[in-house]
Amino acid sequence: MAGGNRRRSREIWHPPPYSLDDIRAVQAVAAGTADATEQARALDWIVNTAAQTYDEPFVPGQDDVRAYMLGRRSVGLAIVKLIKLKPDLFRAEGEND
């Protein structure tokens, strides 16, 4: 990955690795100035690296670590849900309750 090595030996609960390009992309999204490439990169880093959405949260004998990883993963799952949700099928809050 350009801008740095995202995969290095570390404990699962350590802060997620990031590159200079990841920093720039996330900051551009936060500032509202991100182009399509930066938006995709930032979202990819958040869902796949920071939230570890698709990683296995099971850590044998370490319930506290597993709970922590499940918390991180829940953020990624919420983001992925909104990405895949079909707005046309969504009922606005309070509508037809």
In the chain, where the domains are located: 20-85
Q: Take residue 14 and report the two structure tokens written for it.
A: 């350590």
Tens-level pLDDT at each residue, the chain (97 residues): 444 445 545 788 889 999 999 999 999 999 999 999 999 999 999 999 999 999 988 889 999 999 999 999 999 999 999 999 988 887 766 555 4
Query: Which residue shows structure tokens 């570390």?
Result: 10
What is the model's pTM? 0.77
Residue-wise burial string across 65-91, b where 16 or more C-beta atoms lie within 10 A, e elsewhere: bbeebeebbeebeeeeeeeeeeeeeee
Distance separating alpha carbons of residues 27 and 21, to the nearest angstrom: 10
Contact 53, 70 (CB under 8 A): no
